[in-house]
A and B are shown apart, each in its own frame.
Chain A
Amino acid sequence: MVAQSTTFSAFSATLKRDLLIAFKRRNDLMNPLMFFFIVVTLFPIGITPEREGLREIAVGVLWVSALLASLLSMDNLYRSDYEDGSLEQLLLTPHPLYFMVLAKVISHWLVSGLPLVLLSPILGYVLALPAEAYWTMIVTLLMGTPVLSLLGSIGVALTVSLGSRGLILAMIILPMSVPVLIAGTLAVDQALAGGAVAGHLAIMGAMLAAALSLAPLASAAALRISVS
């Protein structure tokens, strides 16, 4: 007799599957990354190549571009699963949907959020970001981009069944993302000013913890609504 799978094996199968799909469609993954790169490199050209002017805006530009790039990639999260019926199969698993959604979001972050973080030091250099702010920027992006993916998954889950989504997704996700943007930029500004960043990082950590524990639940509920 075939035994029932454990929640962990269902979780890891979902994670592996999504990573495999992402790997097989790696051309799609380049889009948000290229967007991030292009937007950031246009600023020195469009505003000023002067180091003094750039360092004023560097943090904001990096964070806003990261936010928009992650928004651009969000739609992949449930779209094809919705269209081919895999989402129904996902909802019919006897395991808690929380972990299945979490697996999908983790995989999404690994292929679309993490590359942004890895690319950010180069773009920080392009924007003449002072050396003392690099670590804070990387750490805040490392904590902030998962929050963006988690919040995005709620928005995508809500809108996946709509035929023409257009800007609705952005209008749902962006307001929720603003606190992350504020905390992230404040932390890096603080580092630039030579102050202590621990408080801001703690706030971001709290956001990450809250998003990790609540967003998959909200996404799961939204998916049930979208599929029914």
Chain B
Amino acid sequence: MPATPSTSDSPAANSTPLLAARNLICERDDRVLFAGLDLELRSGEVVQLKGSNGSGKTTLLRILCGLNDSFSGEIQWQGRPIKGHSDAYLSNLLYIGHHVGVNKVLTPVENLRWSCALHEIATDVDILQALDRIGLRGYEESRCMTLSAGQKQRVSLARLLISPARLWILDEPFTTLDVNGVKLLETLLADHVENSGAALVTTHHNLSVAHHLRVLNLDTHVPDETILQPEGGW
């Protein structure tokens, strides 16, 4: 079943998609999470992944990142399978998951120094500017254990400002953010896609990045017969 595009005036509709997944099937605990899932993400697009709780949104994101390999199907980055070409893919990927990857005994600056160095060369000036813009001025030297959940989220989101990655995969980035944080992240998303980036976001929040947005609903990718299978087995 194809994704349901809400609008289709994405700027690079005819070029090779940045990220393409074909016929993804994922099964967990004898339950099919999704089957026959096709996904294309072109530069200049934000795809919002929707679905009820437990529909496999996080699993799909982790599969696309290469963190989870219990699936069948093919995933391509710029037309090449990510298996075997993971360097090119990973250096263009920025993933922020449920666990934001912020160590609690380190300060925001120390955390970012490391998580940025895994991908790109970032100076302390870059990091401080990013923290300032993300709304953590004055917290640069506090241990992250003293920060609130939303502030920790912001520490990890500061990477969006530093990273040159073209593809952002964000898992529920809005959950702990306040109103200003939500606005800021929406601005960042809009800027990112303007600069020929692409983003895949799961959220229940109604994203307002308007004309670049596509919605993919995972609930439409569960084959009906597999839900009934347990009863059939008895």
A residues lining the B interface (CB < 8 Å): 1-5, 9-10, 13-14, 16-17, 20-21, 24-25, 80-81, 83-86, 88-95, 100, 224, 227-228
Contacts and interface: CB of A to CB of B under 8 A. Distances in A.
Given A4-B120, A17-B106, A92-B93, A86 B70 contact: no
B91 A89 contact: no
B110 A9 contact: no
Give the interface SS of chain A, mostly helix, strand, loop or mixed.
helix
Given A21-B103, A21-B105, A88-B101, A4 B91 contact: yes
Contact of B101 (A4, A25, A89, A224): A89
Q: 7 shortest A-B CB distances, which residue pairs?
A: A85-B99, A13-B117, A85-B101, A93-B118, A94-B90, A94-B91, A17-B114
Contact of B103 (A9, A84, A95): A84
Given A92-B90, A94-B87, A17 B163 contact: no
A88 B114 contact: no
Interface in B70-92: 70, 86-91
A9 B114 contact: no
A228 B98 CA distance: 14
Contacts of B120: 2-5
A88 B97 contact: yes
Interface string B37-73: 0000000000000000000000000100111111000
B99 A9 contact: no
B97 A85 contact: yes
Nearest to A21: B105
B121 A9 contact: yes
B91 A228 contact: no
B111 to A, nearest CB: 8
30 contacts: A4-B121, A5-B117, A10-B117, A10-B119, A17-B103, A17-B113, A20-B110, A21-B103, A21-B105, A24-B106, A24-B143, A25-B105, A80-B103, A83-B99, A84-B99, A84-B100, A84-B104, A85-B98, A86-B101, A86-B115, A88-B67, A91-B67, A92-B66, A92-B90, A93-B119, A94-B89, A94-B90, A95-B118, A228-B62, A228-B67
Nearest to B70: A228
B9 interface: no
A138 B162 CA distance: 46
A5 B118 CA distance: 7
Contacts of B93: 92
Given A4-B91, A21-B105, A84-B102, A94 B121 contact: no
B135 interface: no
Contacts of A88: 67, 95, 97, 99, 101
B147 interface: no
Contacts of B97: 85, 88
Contacts of A80: 103-104
Nearest to A93: B118
Given A17-B113, A91-B67, A86 B103 contact: yes
